[in-house]
């Protein structure tokens, strides 16, 4: 494929609806099958030459869900991190995470740190899990970091640049995504990477996340390849 984006971000949506549609009594089965879809997406992305894949696995707002569902998601996170380690290693995928990670249960946090450490040497693709993540919270924390620097005299308020802001975000070591995919037919950003996706292309797919396949990824990539990314310029300037 030509014109493969360096960084793709995915809002994995529709697990609950999938479980309901399939007649399962709880939404949890949708999340369990969501892990398999995430495995297909990650290995598929690595095979296609994508260097960074960032997925919205648990939002700051998701803490408000019923305790049983939150507990189930945290358990799924923990078990998947150890179960999927061989897949990450075989595919050269380095695991990374962004978000308010201190809010995670300590067992999940430890498992996350262990998986990050175990995959630190992998160089084919970086898979970033956004966990307990909210973009407004991230921006608020960046403002605090910059304000503290200014108070300490390490930074002049007047000289704060876009680069300083980007450096203070949890994503400081990731390039901006060029493509955002959201599944399930919903067309919203839901507090995901608001600063980082300023110039990204948005692709909304009707498929519910547990049904997501490599073909769906390829379809989003070909939509992306067909878009003219003018980045504020005119079409004539691009083709001159």
Q: Quick check: 134 binds ligand FPP (CB under 6 A)?
A: no
Cite the active site residues.
13, 62
Sole binder of ligand FPP in the list 12, 72, 146, 217 (CB under 6 A): 12
Sites for ligand FPP among residues 207-226 (CB under 6 A): 209
- Single out the segment in contact with ligand FPP by CB under 6 A; choices: 13-21, 151-159, 163-171, 224-232: 13-21
- Single out the segment in contact with ligand FPP by CB under 6 A; choices: 33-41, 136-144, 164-172, 221-229: 33-41
Cα torsion 134, 136, 137, 141: sign: positive
Nearest to 154 by CA among 142, 164, 169, 166: 164
- How far apart CA 81 and CA 201 sit, in angstroms, is 30
- Single out the segment in contact with ligand FPP by CB under 6 A; choices: 15-23, 82-90, 118-126, 167-175: 15-23
Which is nearer to ligand FPP, 13 or 178 (by Cβ)? 13
Cα separations (Å) of 210 from 1, 22, 42?
A: 25, 11, 14
Which is nearer to ligand FPP, 136 or 230 (by Cβ)? 136
Contacts (Cβ under 8 Å, ≥6 apart) of 148 = none
- How far apart CA 108 and CA 114 sit, in angstroms, is 10
Which is nearer to ligand FPP, 17 or 40 (by Cβ)? 17
Sole binder of ligand FPP in the list 9, 10, 46, 57 (CB under 6 A): 57
- How far apart CA 178 and CA 198 sit, in angstroms, is 9
Residue located via tokens 């809010």: 103
Sole binder of ligand FPP in the list 5, 8, 9, 16 (CB under 6 A): 16
- Single out the segment in contact with ligand FPP by CB under 6 A; choices: 32-40, 42-50, 170-178, 194-202: 32-40
With contacts defined by CB under 6 A, how many residues of the chain interact with ligand FPP? Answer: 21
* Residue 113: Cβ within 10 Å count: 13
Q: Quick check: 9 binds ligand FPP (CB under 6 A)?
A: no
Give the gyration radius of the chain's Cα atoms.
19
- How far apart CA 42 and CA 44 sit, in angstroms, is 5
Contacts (Cβ under 8 Å, ≥6 apart) of 36 = 210
Considering the complex, what minimum distance in angstroms separates the CB of residue 44 from ligand FPP? Answer: 15
Q: Quick check: 192 binds ligand FPP (CB under 6 A)?
A: no
Contact residues for ligand FPP, defined by CB under 6 A: 12-17, 27, 31, 34-35, 38, 57-58, 62, 73, 76-77, 80, 129, 184, 209
């Amino acid at each position: 494929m030509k014109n493969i984006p360096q960084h793709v971000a995915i809002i994995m949506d529709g697990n609950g609806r999938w479980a309901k549609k399939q007649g399962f009594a709880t939404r949890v089965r949708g999340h369990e099958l969501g892990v398999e879809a995430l495995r297909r997406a990650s290995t598929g992305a690595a095979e296609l030459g994508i260097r960074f894949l960032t997925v919205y696995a648990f939002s700051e707002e998701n803490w408000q869900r019923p305790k049983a569902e939150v507990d189930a998601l945290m358990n799924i996170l923990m078990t998947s991190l150890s179960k999927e380690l061989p897949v990450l290693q075989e595919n050269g995928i380095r695991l990374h995470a962004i978000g308010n990670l201190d809010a995670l249960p300590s067992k999940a946090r430890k498992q996350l740190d262990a998986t990050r450490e175990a995959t630190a040497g992998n160089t084919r693709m970086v898979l970033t899990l956004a966990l307990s993540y909210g973009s407004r919270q991230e921006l608020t924390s960046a403002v605090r970091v910059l304000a503290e620097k200014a108070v300490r005299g390490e930074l002049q308020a007047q000289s704060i640049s876009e680069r300083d802001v980007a450096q203070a975000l949890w994503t400081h070591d990731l390039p901006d995504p060029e493509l955002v995919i959201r599944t399930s037919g919903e067309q919203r950003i839901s507090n995901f990477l608001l600063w980082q996706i300023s110039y990204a292309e948005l692709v909304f797919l009707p498929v519910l996340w547990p049904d997501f396949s490599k073909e769906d990824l390829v379809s989003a990539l070909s939509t992306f390849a067909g878009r003219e990314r003018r980045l504020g310029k005119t079409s004539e300037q691009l083709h001159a």
